[in-house]
A and B are shown apart, each in its own frame.
Chain A
Amino acid sequence: MESKISITNLDFYYGKEQALFDITLEIPPREVVAFIGPSGCGKSTFLRTLNRMNDTIPIARVTGTVLIDGENIYRPGMDVVALRRKVGMVFQKSNPFPKSIFENVAYGIRINGLHSGKSDLDARVEKALRDAALWDEVKDRLSTSAFGLSGGQQQRLCIARALAVQPDVILMDEPASALDPIATQKIEELVVGLKQDYTIVIVTHNMQQAARVSDRTAFFMLGKLVEYNPTQKMFTNPDEKLTEDYITGRFG
């Protein structure tokens, strides 16, 4: 099967400091891939190389290639704006705009000019909210501020906002780390449901979460990819001793 995302020999530097070392990884379409590892291992940094979010850091530098649908996203002249529409992202802390619930979801549709007319916009917003399993909870108060929602609802709103621009890939950076167990469960159910239509990469510090939602897991340590295998194998019979030590909780 053709890979959706194909990373080859990726190195990443903050100034002179190297943060990621020679990472090579294939991510198949319509699967959930989890990145795990101790904090500071580079898993979030790596995630952010996949939609070039690190471009906002002036001293960041990347070498190697990242192919998405066969296109190297680090080639000169790459349209980063178009890339980020195709590769959506959900952040660790929910970050809705200070606008209404409706306008939050409509934002990406509007700027990208995806809709034809008001009724199409309404339909797209509704679909995104339904896909994010939020519609029933907010349908009666779409024009109220997004800040009136609970933490878990805000995070699902951010997911809806990302879905609304019709990405192929969704990157999730510890999306449930700030949420309570019930809200976390809803996000996890959502992630599993979304993989029918999207390729999902999720960073998590919670190994059970990785085991529950992902098809494959990549284990990072000190900026290196230690092991990448189907989740089932990773959690029962890992290839590397280091992985086993980490998963069984023998260190940090």
Chain B
Amino acid sequence: MAQIGALGDKIYRSVLLIAASSILLIVFAIFYMMIQNSMPTIQRFGIGFLFASEWNPSQQMYGALPFIYGTVVSSLIAILIAVPVSLGIAIFLVEQAPAKVARPIAFMVELLAAIPSVVYGLWGIFVLAPFIRNHLGPVLQDYLGFLPLFQGRLTGIGMLTGGIILAIMITPIITAVVRDVLDAVPTTQREAALALGATKWETTMVVLGNAASGIAGAVVLGLGRAVGETMAVTMVIGNSPQISASLFEPAYTIASVLAANFADATEELYLSALIEMGLVLFLVTLVINALAKLLIMSVANKTNAAKHV
């Protein structure tokens, strides 16, 4: 009987171990397959691939710079908008709103994360882009038109639209992590500040100080999502491999060039160039996610916050 039990334990444990190890295997296999399939361009262009700005598949010119530029700038726009808003929401939910108000609002913000990317893209094309073309864009040009950022033709499709849609999409995840990080700050810190005659807002600043590294983790996590977000951006950013100072001009991101061109890439070098960009994206998101996880764990190891990473 004891032996049957021991054997059963062994089998059970082995099956589970294989399942758990499959996760490691998947990540390793992704890494391997992508390196292998991007060998043609790695060998031909070397590191220069990342810094070349010409992209013309018909002439076998493959430079990743416009896509890296587009990815970085659209993600920065998203972060600049989403971080303050997410902090505001999280502070409102944790520090200010009574539970009756906080609960439904928190649920609605979570629902925002459940809407598929392609739906944001659809909405972006038909609602956000016209709004930017007809309302936001002209206002920005009237008041800030002297900046190169806001010059050029206004089609509604371009870098700014991509950044704004990304901002909406990463707000729920940043909010969720910041909420959990704030929740993890001991009540005694709030009481200490209140007892010294701090106002509610001053108390909140003390709480934010306690949560600083967790908030940094939330921001990095949001950045990781923005960098990898694909469909919505592909649908509104204009898909043009150029580096322009104007945020109204069309641009391209790594993820969107993959989405838009991968199915047509029949030629070996073209396919390799795309896969190499995918590899870059993969490595960048791995590093960003690992960093975010470390930052969040440092404040909230035993709390909910770690689960979002």
Contacts and interface: CB of A to CB of B under 8 A. Distances in A.
Chain A–chain B contact at Cβ < 8 A: yes
Interface of A: 51, 53, 56, 58, 81-82, 84-86, 88-89, 91, 93, 95-99, 107-108, 111-112, 158, 161-162, 165
A210 to B, nearest CB: 22
A158 B197 CA distance: 14
8 contacts: A53-B191, A82-B197, A88-B196, A91-B191, A91-B192, A99-B209, A107-B206, A111-B196
A245 to B, nearest CB: 34
B98 interface: yes
Interface string B256-291: 000000000000000000000000000000000000
B196 A58 contact: no
Given A97-B206, A98-B210, A99-B209, A108 B191 contact: no
B99 A58 contact: yes
B281 to A, nearest CB: 36
A72 B229 CA distance: 58
Q: 8 closest pairs, A vs B, by CB?
A: A85-B197, A108-B196, A89-B195, A95-B188, A95-B192, A84-B197, A111-B202, A81-B197
Contacts of A91: 188, 191-192, 195
Contacts of A165: 196-197
B46 interface: no
A56 B194 contact: yes
A93 B188 contact: yes
Residue of B99, B195, B199 contacting most chain A CB atoms (<10 Å): B195
Contacts of B199: 81, 111
B186 interface: yes
B189 interface: yes
A97 B189 contact: yes
B81 interface: no
B183 to A, nearest CB: 15
A99 B210 CA distance: 9
Interface string B171-204: 0000000000000001011111111111100100
Contacts of A56: 190-191, 194
Nearest to A88: B195
Residue of A93, A97, A165 contacting most chain B CB atoms (<10 Å): A97
Given A95-B189, A107-B193, A108-B198, 16 more contacts: A53-B191, A53-B194, A88-B196, A89-B191, A89-B195, A91-B191, A91-B195, A93-B188, A95-B186, A97-B210, A107-B196, A111-B199, A111-B202, A162-B195, A162-B196, A165-B196
Contacts of B196: 84-85, 88, 107-108, 111-112, 161-162, 165
A58 B202 CA distance: 20
A98 B191 contact: no
Contacts of B191: 53, 56, 89, 91, 95
Contacts of A89: 191, 195
Contacts of B210: 97-98
A209 B194 CA distance: 27
Contacts of B197: 81-82, 84-86, 108, 111-112, 165
B195 A51 contact: yes
A86 B189 CA distance: 19
Contacts of A99: 209
Contacts of B202: 111
A110 B53 CA distance: 52
A47 B275 CA distance: 66
